[in-house]
Structures are given as structure tokens and as C-alpha cells.
Amino acid sequence: MEFASIILAAGKGSRMKSDLPKVMHEVGHAPMIDHVLKSAGEAGAARQIVVVGFGGEMVAAHVNGRAETVVQTELNGTGGAALEARAALAGFAGDAIVLYGDGPFVTPDTMRAVLAKRAEGFDVVAVGFRPDDPSGYGRMIANGDALSGIVEHKDCSAVQRDITLCNLGVIAAQAELLFELLDQVGNDNASGEYYLTDVIGLAHRAGKRCGVVECPAEEATSVNSRAQLAAAEAVFQARARRAAMEKGATLQAPETVFFALDTELGADVTIEPNVVFGPGVSVESGARIRAFSHLEGCRVAKGAIVGPYARLRPGADINAGGKVGNFVEIKNAVVGAGAKINHLSYVGDAEIGAGSNIGAGVIFCNYDGVFKHHSTLGERVFVGSNSALVSPVNIGDDALIGTGSVVIKDVPAGDLVLARAQQVNKPGRGKRLMDRLRARKK
């Protein structure tokens, strides 16, 4: 069944104490709105409409190309917000599912269940859940999966507050019917707002068949404060860890590994303790990420080893069997198959050929204070420890760079480079100098 998502994202979130629109706060290194767009996309949304308000230009620029945006000029409740999508969906014959930009955990499976319930003949379908503590949530007046109304907590009677089935806020109907019902919603309630949930009662009184789908309570996690943002991060990380292990990755200490929304791990990847994945990381089958490493915007190919204590920055591309060891930082550089950078080095804006070996303390001097410069090393190059390669330089296959060299010119294939000052020994001078200095210290 074709459907469109209507994602409500107009709120400021005053309790966040932030200049950012609420939906732009990050969970799993991605704005919350991205989580909702991703889930709706995976469920098969043909159209995605984001209703923006506070900070709308920022949100619109962020979702550009992935969703359409409409503006809610008056923040008058969820019903008013959803109604803003009417013009954008004029003539759309499919269903509309209303979602929330600050509720990042509604799954594609739940959305598919809603569509399946619609296909059974229910005109309007809402999503419910059963929290440990229902205080503050709207209650769903249901008989089995037949729904007659939703009452906001502040408007509930004492009897209604004993109901354990609570409203998630997600509602679906054929788009035209949804907007017809929203037109009838009033604001005669404790908040003076237009509640989206009132469409259930209106539909029921009009003889429409209303149904409910239940989802796990964690899908109801929403964010209105920094504390709730931290709680949402915990939910996301727990989910991401479970998903990684279910797909065949080994996490030696799962609770210490942190993922981003778009982290991709292949089968038989091993992740040691205290590893952080920023956005844009893919790790292929059989690779190992050792403890205390930080990865962002990079690719680690099959069988490669990274860490411990390594940092891969955006543009790092570690090919099959490559090794990146402790206290190595790599940025915008390709490390060829089987190449080794085992310790205490910085590689930036470079290409290192297959089978090359970069010794301890090697620095690629890629920045002149204004521009970045690129260096290329061929295959089987050996760079001795404590060398500096002043980019741009090109080093041919099988070249050998002597320890402590400062390389400022291209090196032909097979050459040996010795680029360091000549050593001079002064007999007895060292002891006399130190004696003189110690005497001055007294």
C-alpha cells in the first residue's frame, strides 16, 4: 500500500535550553529527524513531508533532497501541525502516517503493521504501547484492536487513568480522510490546542472503523529535555549493539562500544572494548577494531586491523589486510593492501601503496598553513622511524627512506634516501658542558 509520512518537526523544545531546533539534536551522531526519515524510508514511504516551525530553514536545508517541507506558522498543537501537510499531499491517493521528529524509534515493522491493519479494513489506525508508568500519556479507549477514542492524560477521568494502553501519537488513514477529520478537530481542552488524537473520536462517531496496533514501549521514547536526549542515546546504542551482534559481529564488551546511525559492520568483524564509531564508517568482514579506537568517515576493508588507540578521520581508507596500530592518526589517505603503519604516526592526504611499511613516529607534513598537499608512496616502500615527508612528494616502488630523514623531493623507485644532518662527535665536550650546567643550577 502506497503511503506518505507526515513528520511533525516544528517544536522548539524549550526544555532543551538550546538555539537548535529540537529535531536537530543528535542521537547516534545523527539528528533525530534522520532516524525518522530512515525508518519511514525503509518502510516504503513514497512521499515524506516534514512540518517545520522553529528553526525551519535549518531543518529544511538538512532534509533537502530527502523530504519535502511545509511550515507551521502557529504552534497550535499536533492536529494543526499535521493539517499543514494538506496542500503538499493534494491529490495523493495513498495513506498518510503521522510521525514525530522527536520520537526517533518507531520502527519500519511498526509502520508496516499499521499499513497491514489498514488493509484489514480499518479506516483509521493508531499506535499504542504499555509503559511501566502510564502517567502523562494519553489513554486509548479500546476493545481488543477496535478503538473508539483517545483521551489526553490531563483530560482523563479517574477511571480512564487506570487504562494501561497508552497513545504513541502515530496515526494513519487515507490522506484525504485524515485531512477531513483534522478539519473537524477543535481546541476545547485543557491546553487549548488542536489534538491529532481527536481524529479517532471523530472518526468513530462518523461510523468509521478505528483500530490499534501495539508496539514495544521503547518505540515511545521521545525527547523534550537533555535528560531525555541521554536516555534516547542509551536506547539507540542498545539497539545498535544488538543489531550488530545479530548480524554476525563480535563485540567483546558491548556496553563500551558506541555506534552512529549509519555504521555498517560486516560479518565476523571483531570490536574490542571502548571503540567509538562516528558517522560514515563501514567495516568489512573479518576486520578487527582494537580497543580505544575512534573512527569517523572511513572504510576498513576485509581482514584489516585498526588500533588499539588509533584514530581514523574522514577519508581514511584501509584496504584489505592493512594494519593501523597504536597512536596512529590517518586522515584523507588510502592505505594499500597489506600496508603497515604500526605506531605513533600521522598520515594525512596521502596514498600508500600495497605492502609498504611506515615506521614509528613518521609524519606526513601535508599542511603549509593555507593549503593541504598530497603525497603518493608506491608499493613496498619502507619509511624509517622518525622521518618527515614534506608534501607533496612522490616515492616510487621499493624505495627505502632512512631513519630520521626529512624528505622534500620525489624519490625514484628503488632508491635509498638519507636526508639527515651529519653526526659530529666532540670528545669530552658533553661531560664538561653538563658539569658546567649543574654548577650553575646550584
Q: 29: left (phi > 0), else alpha (psi -120 to 50), else beta? A: left
d(CA 233, CA 231): 5
Sequence-ordered list of residues with C-beta below 8 angstroms from that of 415, at least 6 positions apart, any chain: 396, 399, 400
Burial of 166 from C-beta contacts in 10 A (0-12 / 13-18 / 19+): buried
Of 246, 272, 268, which Cα lies nearest the Cα of 257? 272
Residue 363 — φ and ψ, nearest 5°? Answer: -120, 130
Sequence-ordered list of residues with C-beta below 8 angstroms from that of 140, at least 6 positions apart, any chain: 126, 128, 147, 149, 150, 163, 165, 166, 167, 212
29 belongs to the catalytic site: no
**Residue written as grid cell 483517545:** 150
- Residue 163 C-alpha cell reads as 487504562
Residue 167 contacts residue 151 (beta carbons within 8 Å): no
- Residue 215 C-alpha cell reads as 508496539
**Chain centroid offset of residue 442 CA:** 60
Q: From the candidates 25, 35, 62, 343, give the one annotated as an active-site residue.
A: 343
Catalytic residues: 343
